[in-house]
Amino acid sequence: MTVQPYEYSVLRAVPRVERGEFVNVGIVLYCQQLDFLGCFTRLDAARVLALDPAADVEGIEALLGAVTKVCCGGPESGPAGQDSLGRRFRWLIAPRSTVVQPGPVHTGLTVDPASDLERLVGALLS
């Protein structure tokens, strides 16, 4: 197998923007050459509430659910979920919320992007 480049971004919950504190809550990974777009989200409500006891945990969960829908595509994902994988990735990592924010885009090399997504989840969302 040939090694291919991929891009990924870590999604962060930032319950009080003015404080700049965040909790990693998801990862979106895209590999154009292998036609792969995947994401994983996990909200640790206790960690978010430790940063802000009044945090809108249900709202954060709803935003993460929308990320998953757009990533997977299909009829429930709205117009953004009907785009190409590359356009969906760019849409998912574009800043649009003050509470759930994408981190910087990082790159790597892979032969199996699903395995790399799993590895990143273990390293960055635990």
**CA 120 – CA 110 distance, rounded (Å):** 12
- Averaged confidence pLDDT in the chain: 95
Q: With contact defined as beta carbons under 8 Å apart, do 56 and 2 qualify?
A: no
Residue 78's pLDDT is 86
Q: Taking CA 74 as the corner, what is the angle to CA 71 and CA 75, rounded to the nearest 5 degrees?
A: 130
pLDDT surpasses 80 at 126: no
Q: Taking CA 17 as the corner, what is the angle to CA 15 and CA 23, rounded to the nearest 5 degrees?
A: 45
Sequence length of the chain is 126
Q: pTM score, two decimals? A: 0.94
Structural domain spans, the chain: 4-124
Q: Tell me: the pLDDT tens digits for 27-57?
A: 999 999 999 999 999 999 999 999 999 999 9
Q: Tell me: the pLDDT tens digits for 51-108?
A: 999 999 999 999 999 999 999 998 888 888 889 999 999 999 999 888 999 999 999 9
Residue 76's pLDDT is 85
